[in-house]
Amino acid sequence: MNPTKERILSVLYEENQPMSIGEIGEKIGVSWATAKSNVLELSQDNLLKVKKVKKNWIVWKDETNKPFKTCDTYRRNK
């Protein structure tokens, strides 16, 4: 794992709350594009969860490694 990914994970674990990619980039001192590419790679490795909300990307740590369920998933099960 590269140093940027390690810093992203440490920032999210320290903050203990969802953050935007812009906030992560500012905290670790990299551009938004660099933060985004590393966050997306970490999400593919199932280490982070990512959701796009309008123009923002919201990122949070994944402690459970369980699949993310949306409201639509719950509605389909009923």
Q: What angle do CA 67, 60, 66 make, to 5 degrees?
A: 15
pLDDT tops 90 at residue 9: yes
Q: Map out the domains of the chain with their CATH numbers.
A: 3-77 (1.10.10.10)
- Residue 40 has a CB neighbour count (10 Å cut-off) of 14
Strand-strand pairing, 56-61 and 48-53 = antiparallel
pLDDT in tens, 18-67: 999 999 999 999 999 999 999 999 999 989 999 999 988 899 987 665 55
On whether the pTM is more than 0.85, the answer is no
Pair of tokens at residue 10 = 């440490």
